[in-house]
Structure 1
Amino acid sequence: MVSTVSSRSTALPRLVVAAPASGHGKTTVTAGLMAALSRRGLEVSGHKVGPDYIDPGYHALATGRVGRNLDPHLVGEHRIVPLLLHGARTPRPADVAVVEGVMGLFDGQIGGDGFSSTAHVAGLIQAPVVLVTDISSASRTVGAVLAGLASYDPGVRVAGVVLNKAGSPRHAEEVRRAVAGVGIPVLGVLGRDDAIVAPSRHLGLVPAAERGDAATALDRLAAQVAERIDLDAVLEIARSAPDLDAEPWDPRAEVTAPSATDATERPRIAVAGGRAFTFTYAETTELLEAAGCEVVVVDPTTDAALPEGVRGIYLGGGFPEMHAAAISRNAALRDDLRSAVAAGVPTVAECAGLLYLADRLDHAPMVGALPATAAMTGRLSLAYRSATSATPTLLGRPGETVTGHEFHRTRVEPPAGTGGEHDPAWTLEPTAAHPRTDDGFASGTLHASYLHVHWAGHPHLAQRFVDAVRAAKPHRGGRATAPRGPEPVVAAPSEAPHDPLRHHGDVETAAPDGTPLVDFAVNTYDAPPPPWLLDALRASLEDVGAYPDVRRVRAVEAAIARRHGRDPAEVLAVAGVAEAFTLVARARAWQHPLVVHPQFTEPDVALAAAGTPARHLVTRAEDGFALDPSQVPEAADLVVVGNPTNPTGRLHPAAALRSLTRPQRLVVVDEAFMDAVPDQRHALADAPVPGLLVLRSLTKLWGIPGVRAGYVLGEPAVLDALRAVQTPWSVSSAALAVLRATTEPEALAEAAARVRRLVTWRSVLTSGLDDLGIPHLPGAAPFVLARPGAGVREALRVDGFALRRADTFPGLDASWVRIAVRPPERTRPMLTALGALTSGVPML
């Protein structure tokens, strides 16, 4: 526990978690350690090296305390220890402080020779270092890497290592032996488990506040860490840290509190919060409160008005681009905020706040308090910056310099200071990679810029803001009514398909007059095939003059077998999954075929054509469309189920699917979308199971619906029965070329990259649906089943967007739609249109 030995000597057990580089699992292991120690009953204080806002959110979830940052560039070296001690005593004294590093151990400010690096901060706070090392692609070399890290700087004490992402116990033991020779204790070993890894997107990890599964994942991670990492050894390392000779930082010493006569008056400051605005340093609000202000959090996605009598507004950073539809739909707050800024209510906006105050963000209307528009770009602006105020503004004075950082993928046009009533908020000083440039918009009552500034390092900014707030008149323009929630959309029902079971999303991608719509209906990856795949397809044209050679077919099947660790006799190449279902339907005289629904309807079509219509087991929406194996009749001799299931996106546990197997029963698992699932969790393709057949398609991930290419994995005897009814030469030369090309290492690397993009794209879609209050199913597929209500799909077609109707799937009705995952620049306009339809707000 934090304890004071003398007036300045303070005891605080502490350690720093670092890594050789980014991507080794620092955040996962750090959050797991914090959570595991907290579950032991310890008070854990969480800290992050660097300016990052996202990781502290996970720390807060793990510890039940505010996560805090330690960054010498932002606050100065002399404040690092005081801020550490402040965080460790607020709101209660901590038993141990855990500090997560940034990037690699010695990586800091570019050109700064390690300034602001993890090693730099570890030295300032005199803390031992625990390394986290990803060993998934190495074994004995790990020992050499750790030896180098431990000896590179004598001032950094590497006290232990956690081996992360071990492939097997044998692999882990090989690394243990290598590390033993270096003399660094191995504190524990974690295996690969992507269910507890936070998803990423364009600016890093998805914030914990935006993840509905974050708490569940953290519970699982805490249990794993407690089981696999020696927590007693970790605590012993933390307790080896020496006492610190410093006093805790105190916000009350940094700003002027109100006089005794004014103490009863606490002017209100509205601070943006909620899912869209999660980037605010804890010390910012602590300074405002220490100066006698009342801080009220306002959620721009849900709150209808500013707090009554507000006299100041602080709009920090976050992800307004991810929640633009909900922010735009909340016209009441946008109007109130525009009125407040125009009336001179002192307003500070950083990065996301700047975008929010602009007229538009891409397609979506924003507040309109600034004469500018914002747009997403492909370029990441990420850098430490020094900034000078050229003119007197709400925060700055001529010639004053502050330190901060940029972190965004947007641009604002026109640039700052190009006429009008605003001056630039800052002039950003040049660096080796960045020219001198003006940033933002400022006046005597407004300060909006991209630059993030930690006010603990520049408390005079907080003081100036509070002084302006005290002098301002209370804002009275707010409305007390809540924004309108989703309302039913009245639209003429669309004509039912002639044959629902044969309906496909491609017929929905154009208006009746042939005008193309923005396609969210077809479940293929939204990008052209990679060049190497196009080259393989072009080369296959040289073979069109001959029937496909059976020897080539067998060679391709052997390559697929190697990819999955199967015997070549366990692989059958097919002309897509549709042919596979036809072969299954014709291979045997089925007595009781069963299809689990809602799912892809091709099995029903194939079985009906073979003269044995399928019976249905319809899963329930209230159960998340989960499959209960006990509901499958024992008499069923054929069971067909998708995993992940189209259109629900349900990922059934592999164990549940294996439990369906019986003597004389064939279980067919359609894994057409499994290659889009991170690490293909619950896949059955690599593990032979008697009585189980796995279908794979290459159409979806590679975006080649015109080339019918797929394969079947199963027992040789079952595949021989399928071959017996397969039309000769059904697999074309082009399909064989695709099947072979996608087994190569280059293809596997590109597949992994596409899956990572899909995860990012999906988070944009699901976050937007959450913001709009539209129910949808969790999952890992490249599509989302949502329930916006009857008529919404038809109304969106009028706005130019095609979503897949879901009432053609048994078990679903017209209130459901299936939405294909698309890049953010296509998804956001659709979400904005969807938000307008479900709230009654007209599109602008």
Structure 2
Amino acid sequence: MVAAPSTGQGKTTVATGLMAALRARGLEVSGHKVGPDYIDPGYHAVATGRPGRNLDPHQVGEERIGPLLLHGARGADVAVVEGVMGLHDGRLGTDGFASTAHVAALTRTPVVLVVDIARMSRSVGALVAGMAAYDPAVEVVGVVLNRAGSPRNVEEVRRSLHLPVLGVVPREESLATPSRHLGLVPAAERDEATALVARLGEHVAKHVDLDAVLDVARTAPALDATPWDPAREVSPVPGGPVVAVAGGRAFTFAYAETEELLAAAGCRVVRFDPLTDRALPDGTQALLLGGGFPEEHARELARNTALLAQVRDAVRGGLPTVAECAGMLYLLDSLDDTPMAGVIGTSAAMSERLVLRYPVARAVGDSLLTRAGEEVRGHEFHRTALTRAARGWTPAWEVDRELIGVASPTLHASYLHLHWAGHPQLARRFTEAAAAAAPVAGPPLAEPEPTAVEPQEPQESTDPLLHHGDRELGPGLLDLAVNVHPEPRPAWLERALAEGVRASTSYPDPAAARVAIAELHRRRPDEVLVTAGAAEAFELVARWKQWRHVVVVHPQFTEPHAALERAGHRVTVVHCRAEDGYRLDPAAVPEDADLVVLGNPTNPTGVLHPAAEILRLRRPKRVVLVDEAFIDTVEGERESLAKDRRRGLLVVRSLTKHWSLPGIRVGYVVGNERSIAGLAARQVPWSVSTPAIHAATACTGPAAVAEAARRAARIAGWRSVLVAGLAERGVEVVESQASFVLARLGDGARAALRERGVAVRRADTFPGLDGSWARIAVRPPETTALLLAALDAARLQA
């Protein structure tokens, strides 16, 4: 048994290296892990060439620990067991139940302590003496000194010990194993895992006395137990049903005994990879979706639309399916805003809270796996959380007075992991259901080839002014390119839209919306024109007059510029300068300009210009057009000019982004009555639909004002997280007050992010910016974390 006084001492490194070193000697080695962990056994499997095994009294019961050890060690010359946490740390409140010491006592296995001595000398002796004497049932027989430094310190440590030193392993940072939010990165996700484990074996062989370790192992007495045999736990079912088991890089968490139970029951276990396989295995009659890290591979999973569709139809159609943790996430509507199979009507997202518990769970009702009131022992370990409860399903388990998961006669899905060797009745019920199920139909013959769903670089427009954020999107890409608010539309807006659809049997009449907008901005209705989004407003301004000298202040949203050019106007560009923080300099605008166009806050910089500075642009016979499409994302709508009734001032507002209405197209213009009448004369009749009119009325009412303020406050908080994360990475960010930020990620960074499933908006189509810049939509912190992780990965590869 390789144990340690606490976690972080290096026992995984020493245990895995020891397995590899002994195997390199020509010995047959079996690897085992105390507790429920899936990741360390994956490295053990690489080191030994055999399945990694778990020894967990909580999940399988004390009586099965000896039999499972003997089962996993069949035909082996030596078994190496890696402990969990500190030697005596077990399930909380149980006096060390399921600890390393507990398993060592149950199996009478001699213990070798791994101690990190990088910051200790004689204290190591006191620590080891206490660990060895604490429990007489646990035999601590030797010590491996890890992360050793100077020979003088090692000698000081040796003199403090009363136990043999079996090895002195020096610091070797190049052998560190990368980790993420739930621990080490699984071996199955690392192409270099085999080479790393081989180097670990060489390192341990060089610094640990393998002969002494084998002498210690030989002192272990014979176990008075019969090896566990899956054939004694289940009875064969007729027909040899095909059970499809998810594998690959996204689904790496599995106990070897689960598949052995299924095989003993007569099932034909066929692995498939949801990242790459376009269909379930031929003849599938049951589906097992285990644990893993789908949140790390969500975009890739989403790109495999053919398999997602087949799984959705099959599970909805009654295919017996068990889904644990990652498997459940795969069956949700979405994971971190990325579409999944859509079987279970809810979504999940990354959370700041790590859920780690070792519970006793009680079945809520009869289901595919369980019978009402039945108790099992499992574990939960995840950092995702459901955004809301799944409606219409019976909960799977009651855990600590909380109802979790979903269950039905054909589906069992929850965050709870179970070791079926401890609950063989689950395997029996699953295989019986598989035998009775009809095989899944194959995918449609006309499915596109996999390359059709790979993220492609967006098609370039012949005119960069016509490039919009939606061109950056593609199947499976995380959207940080389009500035549409990510939260659901409020219920009152959904009702307004539904009423608009019902009323669409009549021609649209915007009168009510004009009144509502006028009341919001303390204006008269004849000072308001409702439009089909801000885009229609820009077209109307472009065709309103024969402008003599048009000025567009850039960088800013390109649609007004494009509309003016389409109307035949020559546009003069006035650049806000980077050295000024892209702020407006009114003196830079030519005096003879009769139309000046400016965004506030400006897209893509997010700069909020003072209203007083904008008013300095006013001149006799000049129109100043202010695009306030994103002013509702600014707390308090500071610097808005929508209520300013001075002549020569037009303000365009959009409701499509803040209220998630890009497909409805609704906005408006406010200005003096003569200007509004001139624009209205050029508006195509009934250009604004009835649903859009109802939306405009609702989005300018009291409920909308209150909700808009709440959203603006949340956006400010999200933005601060994004800006801080970019700043920590040395990324230059323009000071923004909007729902997006302009960041200098560097040349090629946008494409590198796209390869990792993250879409941001290219910025070189905005006059005055180059390809080193990108516009990033502000999103909740959990989504921002995915962007930052992708950015880190792209930089690491570069």
After superposition, the C-alpha distances for 1:141-185 in whole angstroms (9 at most, x for unaligned) are: 111100100111111111111111112222222212222xxx211
List gaps (5 residues or longer) in structure 1.
1-15, 431-435, 498-502, 519-698, 707-781, 834-844
Asked if residue 225 in structure 1 is aligned to residue 204 in structure 2, the reply is: yes
Asked if residue 395 in structure 1 is aligned to residue 364 in structure 2, the reply is: no
2:80 aligns to what SS in structure 1? strand
Deviation, structure 1 residue 413: 3.7
Aligned with residue 404 of structure 1, among 375, 378, 390: 378
In the other structure, the counterpart of 2:91 is 109
2: CA distance between counterparts of 1:131 and 1:306? 46
After superposition, the C-alpha distances for 1:223-277 in whole angstroms (9 at most, x for unaligned) are: 111111000000110111011111110001100113xxx4xx3211111111111
Amino acid in the other structure paired with 2:63: H
2: CA distance between counterparts of 1:31 and 1:826? 35
After superposition, the C-alpha distances for 1:113-140 in whole angstroms (9 at most, x for unaligned) are: 0100000000111100000011111111
1: CA distance between counterparts of 2:364 and 2:17? 46
Asked if residue 65 in structure 1 is aligned to residue 50 in structure 2, the reply is: yes
Asked if residue 328 in structure 1 is aligned to residue 295 in structure 2, the reply is: no
**Is this contact kept in 2: 1:54–1:207, CA < 8 A?**
yes
**Is this contact kept in 2: 1:305–1:479, CA < 8 A?**
no
Deviation, structure 1 residue 705: 6.7
**Is this contact kept in 2: 1:345–1:472, CA < 8 A?**
yes
In the other structure, the counterpart of 1:483 is 450
In the other structure, the counterpart of 1:425 is 396
Asked if residue 169 in structure 1 is aligned to residue 144 in structure 2, the reply is: no
In the other structure, the counterpart of 1:515 is 603
**Residue 169 to residue 352, structure 1, CA distance change in 2 (3 Å):** same
Deviation, structure 1 residue 704: 9.3
**Is this contact kept in 2: 1:425–1:448, CA < 8 A?**
yes
**Residue 231 to residue 301, structure 1, CA distance change in 2 (3 Å):** same
1: CA distance between counterparts of 2:7 and 2:757? 46
1: CA distance between counterparts of 2:308 and 2:159? 61
Amino acid in the other structure paired with 2:201: A
2: CA distance between counterparts of 1:212 and 1:277? 15
2:345 aligns to what SS in structure 1? coil
Aligned with residue 6 of structure 2, among 21, 34, 45: 21
**Residue 831 to residue 445, structure 1, CA distance change in 2 (3 Å):** farther
2: CA distance between counterparts of 1:486 and 1:374? 24
In the other structure, the counterpart of 1:248 is 227
In the other structure, the counterpart of 1:366 is 340
Deviation, structure 1 residue 494: 10
**Residue 784 to residue 130, structure 1, CA distance change in 2 (3 Å):** farther
In the other structure, the counterpart of 1:309 is 283
In the other structure, the counterpart of 2:140 is 158
In the other structure, the counterpart of 2:182 is 203
Question: Structure 2 matches for 1:129-168, cutoff 5 A?
Answer: 129-168=111-150
Asked if residue 442 in structure 1 is aligned to residue 407 in structure 2, the reply is: yes
1:371 aligns to what SS in structure 2? strand
Deviation, structure 1 residue 95: 0.5
After superposition, the C-alpha distances for 1:652-699 in whole angstroms (9 at most, x for unaligned) are: xxxxxxxxxxxxxxxxxxxxxxxxxxxxxxxxxxxxxxxxxxxxxxx9
List gaps (5 residues or longer) in structure 2.
465-554, 556-577, 583-598, 607-725, 734-744, 792-798
Deviation, structure 1 residue 220: 1.7
1:456 aligns to what SS in structure 2? helix
Deviation, structure 1 residue 415: 2.4
**Residue 293 to residue 494, structure 1, CA distance change in 2 (3 Å):** farther
1:411 aligns to what SS in structure 2? strand
Amino acid in the other structure paired with 2:188: A
**Is this contact kept in 1: 2:455–2:755, CA < 8 A?**
no
2: CA distance between counterparts of 1:368 and 1:424? 18
Asked if residue 826 in structure 1 is aligned to residue 793 in structure 2, the reply is: no
TM-score by length of 2: 0.61
Deviation, structure 1 residue 390: 2.2
Question: Structure 2 matches for 1:467-506, cutoff 5 A?
Answer: 467-479=432-444, 483-484=450-451, 486=454, 488-489=456-457, 490-492=459-461
**Is this contact kept in 2: 1:517–1:801, CA < 8 A?**
no
In the other structure, the counterpart of 1:727 is none
1:109 aligns to what SS in structure 2? coil
Deviation, structure 1 residue 829: 6.2
**Residue 789 to residue 376, structure 1, CA distance change in 2 (3 Å):** closer
Amino acid in the other structure paired with 2:261: L
Question: Structure 2 matches for 1:641-680, cutoff 5 A?
Answer: none
**Is this contact kept in 2: 1:338–1:368, CA < 8 A?**
yes
What do you get for the CA RMSD once the two structures are aligned? 4.1
Deviation, structure 1 residue 513: 8.8
2: CA distance between counterparts of 1:312 and 1:375? 27
In the other structure, the counterpart of 1:35 is 20
In the other structure, the counterpart of 1:462 is 427
**Residue 139 to residue 443, structure 1, CA distance change in 2 (3 Å):** same
Deviates more, 1:104-113 or 1:383-392: 383-392
2: CA distance between counterparts of 1:794 and 1:339? 26
2: CA distance between counterparts of 1:113 and 1:704? 50
Deviation, structure 1 residue 514: 3.9
After superposition, the C-alpha distances for 1:563-617 in whole angstroms (9 at most, x for unaligned) are: xxxxxxxxxxxxxxxxxxxxxxxxxxxxxxxxxxxxxxxxxxxxxxxxxxxxxxx
**Residue 792 to residue 37, structure 1, CA distance change in 2 (3 Å):** closer
Aligned-residue identity in percent: 56
Aligned with residue 299 of structure 1, among 264, 268, 273: 273
2: CA distance between counterparts of 1:88 and 1:801? 61
1: CA distance between counterparts of 2:63 and 2:311? 38
Aligned pair count reads: 534
2: CA distance between counterparts of 1:375 and 1:210? 21
**Is this contact kept in 1: 2:115–2:145, CA < 8 A?**
yes
**Residue 783 to residue 104, structure 1, CA distance change in 2 (3 Å):** farther
Which one has a bigger Cα radius of gyration?
2
1: CA distance between counterparts of 2:200 and 2:288? 35
